[in-house]
């Protein structure tokens, strides 16, 4: 709290420029944009959620987005990253989240989507990402988050799903993608998020995990995702949301983190990068703004740390029958 005085010397969030950057991002063609084509669904979720957090979702055409989105759905119920591609839970969650943002979940055949997701649960409680069987705690989170939004958690064995996630806990308090895999802030977010949604946070050693997470803050104020790595804006989301869910966010220096994120903005053309002076992209723009939202930065709507959607969107879904 003593460091809050430094807030006054900080730069400001150039929200309007970020909005412009997001709205323009689909128009420029680069090699990066061509090789990102297969995960357009994720890109749409990052861009649209950022717009909503900045209260500018109204500047996109809902029908245009939704009609494209529905061309990505397969017979199985799962969504692909773009038209003509194979379905995967990674894109299915993004599709559901986008529809939630637009309050358009009613156009979904909920039974079909939820059956696709539930069908990917394995005997040991884990989840595969698609029919090809790669297992990862990221997919556990995605399945649980997705089914919770669709109010279909009863379609899976939640107890087994939780047990599997707990089996991925390491001695340092963190979590990896499968049992025995190295702790990683992104995987920790997934595991803690899934445990939060299923009301199972008592499985987390909060002090121990909080210790590991707060050691991710480096001298510049930014957060890294693993020991000895450089700080990166995207961990402002993954580390911070995890710390909030386990009620240990006061263990890091929030003011320094706000400054780090603001230093990663392109003040002229909008967009946020991984580190100061690097090239911006839509992924880091989303995680930067989402991080600022968790840090209660003025002018940014509140985001839910587990569902990764604006709080008002989540309330609208969870509070209605």
Partner 1 sequence: MRKGSCSEEVCFDLLNQLEHLLESDPLIDEVGFIHPSQFTLLDKESGSVTDGSSPSFWNQDHKLGISTDILIQLCKDAKHAFLSTFKEYKCLENASTCESPTKNISSSGVSSCSLESRVMKHSQALLLLSSDFGTAWNARKLILSKQDQPLEAFTEELRLSKPVLSNCPKSEPTWSHRRWIIKMISRSFPTPQLQEIITKESELVESIGERSKMNYRAWYHRCWLVSYMTTEQVLQELKKSKRWAGLHVADSSCFHYRRRLMLRVLETHNVEGSNAYDKTEAHKIWKEELDWNKELVERYLGREALWLHRRFLSLNWIMHFGRNHSSETGQRMVMNEEIVTFVDKEIHLLESCMTVPDTKFEDFQAQALHAAVYMLWLTKNVPELWRMLEEKLGTEKIKCILNTVAQERPTSLLHQLDIFAADLEH
Least distance (Å) between residue 137 CB and partner 1: 12
Q: How far is CA 298 from CA 15, 202, 258, in A?
A: 11, 32, 11
| Alpha helix ranges (H) inside 72-119 | 89-101, 110-118
Name the 3-class secondary structure at 87: strand
Least distance (Å) between residue 218 CB and partner 1: 10
Least distance (Å) between residue 230 CB and partner 1: 10
User: Number of residues in contact with partner 1, rule: CB under 8 A?
Assistant: 44
Contacts to partner 1 from residues 208-267, by CB under 8 A: 208, 210-211, 214-215, 217, 226-229, 248, 250-253
Query: How far apart (Å, rounded) are the C-alpha atoms in residues 242 and 261?
Result: 18
Least distance (Å) between residue 210 CB and partner 1: 8
Q: Which of 40, 184, 259, 284 binds partner 1 (CB under 8 A)?
A: 184
Nearest residue to 307 via CA among 202, 203, 192:
192
Least distance (Å) between residue 229 CB and partner 1: 6
Nearer to partner 1, 207 or 296 (CB): 207
CB atoms within 10 A of CB 163: 15
Name the 3-class secondary structure at 137: helix
Q: Which of 86, 160, 167, 278 binds partner 1 (CB under 8 A)?
A: 86
Least distance (Å) between residue 238 CB and partner 1: 13
Nearer to partner 1, 130 or 281 (CB): 130
Query: CB–CB of 136/90 below 8 Å?
Result: no
Contacts to partner 1 from residues 258-297, by CB under 8 A: none
The site string for partner 1 over 13-52 (x = CB under 8 A, - otherwise) reads ----------------xxx--xx-xxx-------------
CB crowding 113-149: b at 16 or more within 10 Å, else e:
bbbbbbbbbeeebbbbbbeeeebbbbbbbbbbbbbbb
Please report the DSSP string for 141-182 in residue order.
HHHHHHHHHTT-GGGS-HHHHHHHHHTTB-TTS-B-SSTTPP
Q: Which of 58, 84, 199, 298 binds partner 1 (CB under 8 A)?
A: 84
Nearer to partner 1, 79 or 307 (CB): 79
85 binds partner 1 (CB under 8 A): yes
Residue 289's φ and ψ, nearest 5 degrees, are -65, -40
Under the rule (CB under 8 A), what is the footprint of partner 1? 3, 29-31, 34-35, 37-39, 80-81, 84-86, 88, 130, 132-134, 171-172, 176-178, 180-182, 184, 207-208, 210-211, 214-215, 217, 226-229, 248, 250-253
């Amino acid at each position: 709290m003593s460091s809050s005085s430094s807030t006054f010397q900080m730069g400001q969030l150039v929200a309007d420029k970020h909005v412009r950057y997001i709205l323009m991002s689909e128009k420029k063609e680069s090699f990066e944009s061509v090789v990102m084509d297969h995960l357009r669904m994720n890109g749409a979720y990052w861009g649209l959620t950022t717009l909503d957090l900045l209260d500018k979702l109204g500047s996109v055409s809902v029908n245009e987005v939704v009609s494209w989105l529905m061309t990505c759905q397969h017979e199985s119920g799962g969504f692909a990253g773009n038209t003509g591609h194979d379905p995967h839970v990674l894109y299915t969650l993004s599709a559901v989240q986008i529809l939630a943002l637009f309050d358009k979940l009613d156009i979904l055949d909920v039974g079909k989507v939820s059956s696709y997701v539930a069908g990917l649960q394995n005997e040991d409680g884990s989840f595969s990402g698609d029919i090809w069987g790669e297992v990862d705690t990221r997919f556990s989170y995605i399945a649980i988050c997705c089914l919770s939004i669709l109010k279909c958690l009863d379609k899976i064995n939640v107890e087994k799903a939780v047990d599997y996630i707990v089996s991925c806990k390491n001695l340092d308090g963190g979590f990896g993608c499968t049992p025995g895999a190295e702790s990683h802030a992104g995987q920790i977010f997934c595991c803690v998020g899934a445990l939060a949604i299923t009301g199972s946070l008592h499985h987390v050693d909060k002090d121990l995990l909080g210790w590991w997470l707060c050691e991710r803050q480096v001298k510049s104020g930014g957060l890294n995702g693993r020991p000895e790595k450089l700080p990166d804006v995207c961990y402002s989301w993954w580390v911070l949301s995890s710390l909030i869910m386990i009620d240990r966010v006061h263990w890091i220096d929030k003011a320094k983190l706000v400054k780090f994120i603001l230093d990663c903005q392109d003040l002229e053309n909008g967009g946020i990068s991984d580190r100061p002076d690097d090239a911006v992209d839509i992924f880091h723009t989303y995680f930067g703004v989402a991080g600022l939202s968790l840090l209660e930065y003025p002018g940014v709507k509140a985001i839910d740390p587990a569902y990764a959607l604006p709080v008002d969107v989540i309330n609208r879904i969870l509070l209605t029958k």
